[in-house]
Amino acid sequence: MTLALTLDKPMERVRRVLGISSILTLALVFLIAVLMALITMYDIQRERTSFYDNLEKRGDFLSNGLTEVFADHLYYARVRELQSAADRVMASLPDIQAIRVFRRDGSVLVDRQGHAGNSAYVVGTAKGPVISDTVDTGIFAYSYTRDSLLLTSPLEINSEVIGTVQFAFDQGPLNAEITQILLERAWQSSALIALGIALAYLISREVTQPLKTLAASAERIGNGDLEEPVPAQGAKETKVLANALERMRVELRGLYGGLEIKVAARTQEISNINQDLEREIEVRKLAEGALRDSESRLQSMIDSAAAGIITIDDEGIVESVNSAAEKLFGYRPDEIVGQSVSLLMPAPYQDAHDGYLASYRETGRSEIVGTNRELQARRRDGTVFPIELAVSESWSGGRRTFIGIITDETERKRAEDERARHALALEAANKELEAFSYSVSHDLRAPLRSINGFSQALLDDCADELGESGQDYLHRVKASSEHMAELIDNLLQLSRITRSEMKWEQVDLSAIAGSIAAEVQRSQPERQVRFDIAEGLADQGDGRLLQVVLDNLLSNSWKFTAKQPQAHIEFGAERFDGVPAYFVRDNGAGFDMAYSGKLFGAFQRLHPTSEFEGTGVGLAIVQRVIHRHGGKVWAESAVDRGATFYFTLKTGEENGSGGKINLVGGRQSG
């Protein structure tokens, strides 16, 4: 990888610097040069080999033919003959430059140097090989110098080497031949390179020119000029490329055209939206103005609210207080805003409040938020007072605010406590009354029974001893005890009516009146009394209590018409102040309206018992029942002209404004 990088980098640089045609030319020239060099080297080598082969063949021939002669002369140490023999050889073979004969110890015996003109020129070494006894006969060796080929051959007599002969052949022709070859090749190379350059030029013109054109087109396209078509020229591949580029250009132009239309449409759209936004901003500004007005109204409402309003943040820090809250707690706003709201709580709540808030943030569950709670709060001066707290939460901009509305419950609590005390007292009083009633009904009646019983026993057992007057007295005792029993019963009934619980239902008053009339008629069948009972009178009320009312009123009428030969009792209804006023009317004794104030009081009687019996509790009971129904009762009468008793079961529209009401009201209060 490192290698690839180190190679890639220079190649990349080359490609960057040089155009494709330069690379092509350089490559071609390089190729030709390498080829020519190889050819030249091959030629030279071949030339040299053939030259040497030739020389060696001649050398072999020379040594074979001459070594015997030279050996003889050496053997006999004929130096002069050796010299002349060498001269002859050299004369006949002009390419032999020198001949040397060496003794066995390598010393030179004969050294004949070459041609005239360069006799000073010493060829080869001046010392021949040292021949030892152990050296094989037949030494025959070539060696080369720069200019010569040296052939050293042994000189033998009777297979014993006695010395050596050396021939130095001139290499001049070989060198000349090589120079010739080199020159030739140089010319050929030059010609070939020139041809290569021309060829490269042609190729680059054929291939790179269209590519350059394509490149220019591509650059134009790249710059966004899509109008000029891409010319298709050059080789097949280039044309394919050009066509592809042209198609791309046309397509791009189409796309750009569509894009421009789209951009124009979008621009229009954006402009429309902008106009809408501007209009909306106008509307918003108006709304904001209205909101500001509303806010300031709300603020003044909050400030003038009777209840304390405190807002706190998520951590329980007070954000705002209204004036009512200031007064309630005794803090100025700057003393409490920014402080923990727990400042306003007494000890147990104070410590727990942070925990409550944290728990609510985590779980979303609270016993406070969304409900009204009665709690204790702490004023600045440390006093603790009861409050009712309603907490709501509101989210705005990702921030939570708790809004607490605080009502001072001190007064209400006090009133409530007082009411509870009163209720307790009332309950105790009622209990006492109940016990009293029970006691009355049991304990007061028992002695009366004794009085009555033993009086009767006396009358039964001792009538003779008592005499007339004694018996009369005892009868009076008996009657009194019975009357007292009746009084007690009525008193109990009155107290029970006050205590008993009201059961509201639809009550058929006509039916009740009818059955009472039948009953009283049965009790005194000898009396002739005409009853007129209106049909279909019914109203909402407690049936048992209304039975008591009608029983009392009808019995009264029955009683007070006793002396009337043609008694007439009527039950009906009239409208009075928009509500039905029921009445019981008779043509009996009646009463003096001057005493009407005593009419509905308990144990009040307007007639002597000797004339009309009774306890005087009946009308008191009637009034109490009617009052418990929320109605009114009154009467109209005159002595010996009969009486009419009216009652309503609900309050009239013009409550208390009528003359009759005033009249009756006066009686009631008395």
Partner 1 sequence: MEGKLILLVEDNPDEETLTLRALARSGIDSQVVVARDGAEALDYLFGTGAYAGRDTTIMPTVTFLDLRLPKIDGLEVLRRMRADERTKLLPVVTLSSSDEKHDISTCYESKANSYIRKPVSFIEFTETVRQLGQYWMELNVPPGI
The binding site for partner 1 (CB under 8 A) comprises 437-438, 441-443, 445-446, 448-450, 452-457, 478, 481-482, 484-485, 489, 492
Distance of CA 125 to the CA centre of its chain: 107
Give how far the C-alpha of residue 20 lies from the chain's centroid of Cα atoms, to the nearest Å. Answer: 61
Q: Hey, what amino acid is at 657?
A: S
* Cβ atoms 646, 635 nearer than 8 A: yes
Residue 31 CA to residue 479 CA, distance in Å, equals 167
417/432 with CB nearer partner 1: 432
Smallest separation (angstroms) from partner 1 to the CB of 321:
57
CB closer to partner 1 out of 437 and 637: 437
Shortest spacing between CB 458 and partner 1, in angstroms = 11
Structure tokens at 124: 């080869």
Query: Toward partner 1, which CB reaches closer, 376 or 441?
Result: 441
Measured from the CB atom, the residue of 78 and 449 that comes closer to partner 1 is 449
Q: How far is the CB of 613 from partner 1 (least distance, A)?
A: 15
Minimum Å distance from CB 633 to partner 1? Answer: 25
Residues 6+ apart with CB under 8 A from 560: 586, 588, 589, 590, 607, 612, 643
| CB of 138 or CB of 453, closer to partner 1 | 453
Task: Considering the complex, state which of residue 139 and residue 488 has its C-beta at the smaller distance from partner 1.
Answer: 488
Q: Cα–Cα distance between 322 and 310 in angstroms, integer? A: 7
What is the distance between the alpha carbons of residues 667 and 550, in angstroms, rounded to a whole number?
20
Residues forming beta bridges with residue 399, ordered by sequence position:
396
Query: Which residues, in sequence order, are bridge partners of residue 310?
Result: 321, 404
* Spatial contact of 404 and 370, defined as CB atoms under 8 Å apart: no
Contact 307, 405 (CB under 8 A): yes
Going from the C-alpha of 532 to that of each of 510, 529, 583, the distances in angstroms are 10, 10, 12
Q: For residues 188 and 456, which CB has a smaller minimum distance to partner 1 in the complex?
A: 456
d(CA 74, CA 110): 10
Report in angstroms how near the CB of residue 559 gets to partner 1 at its nearest. 21
Which of helix, strand or coil describes residue 26?
helix
Handedness of CA 35, 37, 38, 42 (dihedral sign): positive
Q: Minimum CB separation from partner 1 for residue 602, in Å?
A: 19
- Determine the straight-line distance between the first and last CA of the chain, rounded to whole angstroms: 127
Best CA proximity match to 529, nearest among 583, 570, 584, 590: 570
A 10 A CB-CB count for 91 gives 10
By the 8 A CB rule, do 512 and 547 touch?
yes
CB nearer to partner 1: pick between 72 and 486: 486
Question: Are the C-beta atoms of residues 497 and 544 closer than 8 Å to each other?
Answer: no
Nearer to partner 1, 50 or 500 (CB): 500
Nearest distance in Å: CB 485, partner 1:
4
> Least distance (Å) from partner 1 to the CB of residue 563?
27
Nearer to partner 1, 337 or 451 (CB): 451
Please state the closest distance from residue 626 (CB atom) to partner 1, in A: 22
> Considering the complex, what minimum distance in angstroms separates the CB of residue 544 from partner 1?
11
Of 56 and 489, which has the nearer Cβ to partner 1? 489
For residue 157, what are the contacts with CB-CB under 8 A and spacing of at least 6? 71, 72, 75
Q: Minimal distance in Å, beta carbon 593 to partner 1?
A: 36
